[in-house]
Amino acid sequence: MTLLNRTECSALRGLAIIGIFMHNYIHWLGPMVKENEYLFNHGNVEWLMRIFSNPDKNLLWHLFSFFGHYGVPLFVFLSGYGLVLKYEKDASSPSWWKFMQHHFTKLFPMMFLGFVCFAMVDWITPGHHRWTWLDIITQLTMTINFLPHPDQNIWPGPYWFFGLIMQLYLIYILILHRWRHWGVILSLVILCWAIQAMCIDDPIGDTLNRIRYNCMGNILPFSIGILLARFKGENTVKSKTTQNIIAAAVLCTSAVLIFLLSQSFHGWLWVPPFIITAGVAFIKLQPAVCLKAFNWVGALSAAIFVCHPITRKIFIPISRSGQVVDGLMLYIVSTIMLAMLFRIVIRQLKKEKA
């Protein structure tokens, strides 16, 4: 028995993309509390605590700004989970080169379409970015994560995820697919945690920043996805009511731990596992109508991911001028509509390639 069925995976993907595309808009607004995604800035934690002690009308937006980026580890978790279900049905091992080639050509059309469209919109709107030839080549080859000073070079931001996921795919096919003992995964997790933990003396420095933009900063949720997909347990809880009680307890406990662990550097490194348990429990608690809605968003998640930087660049000046909700509503509606068009184009590109 698997932890998540196909519908629940898609719904969890929908939850993840909602967090990401809301976060990637709201955290650019000056009054909103800033997140600790790549670096750990204790000043941001204190800012969040001040918001909780004296809530204002923007409380929901503050929460999206600070926590929304955790949609990324949810996507990484689902990537590891899906790889096991797809490639570990038998003992055969695909060629690592063909494996990587297949996934590169699968990701490239959507990344290329989003990047080109964003570049055109960025150039004709105020405050355009000045790309170098190296930025463009490394983005198109999904290797931009390796460049120094990623905060300056990776623009519009979200497309760094393609480079990250290709790194994780390579680790999977070269190591984790061949040696499937849990000890291999545990060793890899401990190694990557230790490298990040050594940055405690400079938690806002460039070293930790570059680590977190690459695979070492995301091995933990990826490994959890692999381990949970490999675990074939029996569902001994038959009652739906009992299952909901357990899921609610897991959700509440996870939420408390996320909040507490976010207060310190070492705790912050271990937040992703509880983001995953909270996300899974949340989806398990959804009634059929809500699950269907999250599933619908999940089906659009790839298109939303690549097109939301475009709509953000267009509509964020409205929110920055003081009309926060007006700009946000235009951003949400236009992103969904554009994502539906992108999905049609991406599917057509894949058909022509096939």
pLDDT tens digits along 128-178:
888 899 999 999 999 999 998 888 888 888 999 999 999 999 999 999 999
* Burial class for 234, CB neighbours closer than 10 Å (0-12, 13-18, 19+): exposed
CA distances from 146 to 139, 174, 206, 218 (A): 10, 20, 12, 15
Reported confidence tier of residue 352, pLDDT bands at 50, 70, 90:
low
Neighbouring C-beta atoms of residue 130, cutoff 10 Å: 7
pLDDT of residue 69: 98
What mean pLDDT is predicted for residues 58-87?
Answer: 97
Tokens of 195: 């490298």
- The pTM (predicted TM-score) of the whole model is 0.95
Nearest to 213 by CA among 267, 166, 268, 265: 166
Instruction: State residue 36's pLDDT score.
Output: 98
Q: How much is the average pLDDT of 174-196?
A: 96
Rounded mean pLDDT of the chain?
94
Closest CA to 252 of 262, 264, 244, 242: 244
Identify the pLDDT of residue 2.
Answer: 75
d(CA 80, CA 228): 9
Query: By CB neighbour count within 10 A (0-12 exposed, 13-18 middle, 19+ buried), where does 286 fall?
Result: middle
Residue 89 clears pLDDT 90, i.e. is over it: no
Average pLDDT over residues 218-223: 98
pLDDT at 277: 98
287-296 residue pLDDT tens: 999 999 999 9
For the beta carbon of residue 331, count every other beta carbon within 10 angstroms: 23
In the predicted structure, residue 235 carries a pLDDT above the cut 70 = no
| Gyration radius of the chain over CA positions | 20
Range among 53-57, 132-136, 184-188 with highest mean pLDDT value: 184-188
Task: Say if residue 234's pLDDT is above 70.
Answer: no
> What is the pLDDT, as a whole number, of residue 130?
87
- The pLDDT of residue 120: 95
- CA-nearest of 111, 228, 98, 118 to 170 is 98
Q: Provide the pLDDT for residue 185.
A: 97
